[in-house]
Structure 1
Amino acid sequence: MPATSVVDVDGRRLRLTSLDKVLYLETGTTKGDVIHYYASIAAA
């Protein structure tokens, strides 16, 4: 079963699916990794 998570963003609930899907084969970077990266730099 694909990884799924529900998060609150600015008062809205988002269901994130397929977080374990590999987006970049060379590095093994997953969709979850990319979302985590964007969330961590959002304030910058």
Structure 2
Amino acid sequence: MRFCLSRDFELIMAVITGAKIAEMAATIEVKITVSVVTIYTSDIRTLH
């Protein structure tokens, strides 16, 4: 019983860790996208 419980706990922890990593990756992706869009729009403005 204890072994089963610890396995479930490890699985839950892995899922939580994976979710946190995915969240961080998504945040970084959004920041990069915003930066690229900002640079792109400022480039267009300077060209015009």
With the shorter chain as reference, the TM-score category is 0.3 to 0.5
Task: Report the TM-score when normalising by structure 1.
Answer: 0.34
- Which protein is richer in helix relative to its size? 2
Task: Report the TM-score when normalising by structure 2.
Answer: 0.31
- Which protein is richer in strand relative to its size? 1
Higher alpha-carbon Rg: 2
User: Which has the bigger relative contact order, CA under 8 A and spacing at least 6?
Assistant: 1
